[in-house]
Structure 1
Amino acid sequence: MKKNKMVFLLLGLVVSLVVLAGCSGSKSIQGTWKAQDGAGKNSTIIFTDKKVTVDGQTYNYTQNAIGTENGIKYYGIKQDGQNYTIIFPVKNKNIAIMIKPNSTDDSLKGKMLYAMNKTVQPRYNDYATKYLK
């Protein structure tokens, strides 16, 4: 009986850790991104494990999805009740786009909000033409 109690306690601890880790942002999206929106405004976006800062404004977020579709890696995040998707359209981890999905059924289709790059300032129109299908 005591052994079963210990097993359930350990199992509960492991499940809790997995759930907590699942809410944090993946290492792939964390870091400082140079970004540009559709109006051509350049921004800096900084992702940590649970916060995102856009041009000095900090918000809490949770990661609620991760997946690969047709070789395209993506991460779903939720901020203030709104869903967003960060898409890595090519295998280069320095290139990404952020979209606002049209629905919860398809995380890869929606309005592009930002062109994002970790090393060089991206151009929204170039990314939209090249990576949005």
Structure 2
Amino acid sequence: MKKLNFLLLSLLSLVLFSCSGSDTFQGTWKCMNGLEEKFEINFTPDHVTVVQDGKTLVDSDYSQYAYSNQNGIISYTIQGDNIGAWIVHFPYEDNKKKGLILDGEQQVICTISKEDYQKIEQIVD
């Protein structure tokens, strides 16, 4: 019985840990959409906030439910009540400091960068 309880607790811990967002995209990012509007987005392990000019536009809990790594090109799919499905996509094998946020149809919502605001064409070659 003790082994069964330990196994169930271990499995529950694994499931809870795997649902939180990856360390790769945690923190604050500078974002720019296709209209060149600037935003800041902040990811914690289970929450995302989007702010523009001091006004909160998005405030949502989320969970990560998919991960893809194709030759170092990494994508994380997250789902939240106020955001639907987002894909946090890093198109460069050697650079995880800039990327894209895509919607569930794989259309670009905005660019993300740790350093400065990036136009879509600066990230997508």
Q: TM-score, normalised by structure 1?
A: 0.83
Deviation at 1:124, TM superposition (A): 2.4
Q: Paired residue for 2:29, among 24, 29, 33?
A: 33
Q: Does 2:18 match 1:18?
A: no
Deviant stretches of 4+, over 4 Å: none
Q: Residue 66 of structure 1 corresponds to which residue in structure 2?
A: 67
What amino acid sits opposite 1:77 in the alignment? I
CA contact (8 A) 2:85 2:104 kept: yes
- RMSD, matched Cα: 1.4
**CA drift at 1:62:** 0.7
- Is residue 54 from structure 1 mapped to residue 53 from structure 2 by the alignment? no
Specify the SS of the correspondent of 2:95.
coil
1:107 is matched with none
Q: Aligned equivalents of 2:21 and 2:104: distance in 1? A: 18
Q: Which of 81, 85, 88 is the equivalent residue of 1:83? A: 85
Looking at structure 2, the residues matched to 120 and 92 of structure 1 have their Cα atoms a distance apart, in angstroms, of: 14
List gaps (5 residues or longer) in structure 2.
Answer: none
Residue range with higher mean Cα deviation, 6-15 or 65-74: 65-74
- Give, as a single letter, the amino acid of the residue that structure 2 aligns with 1:82: G
Structure with higher Rg: it is 1
User: Could you tell me how far apart the structure 1 residues matched to 2:21 and 2:72 are?
Assistant: 20
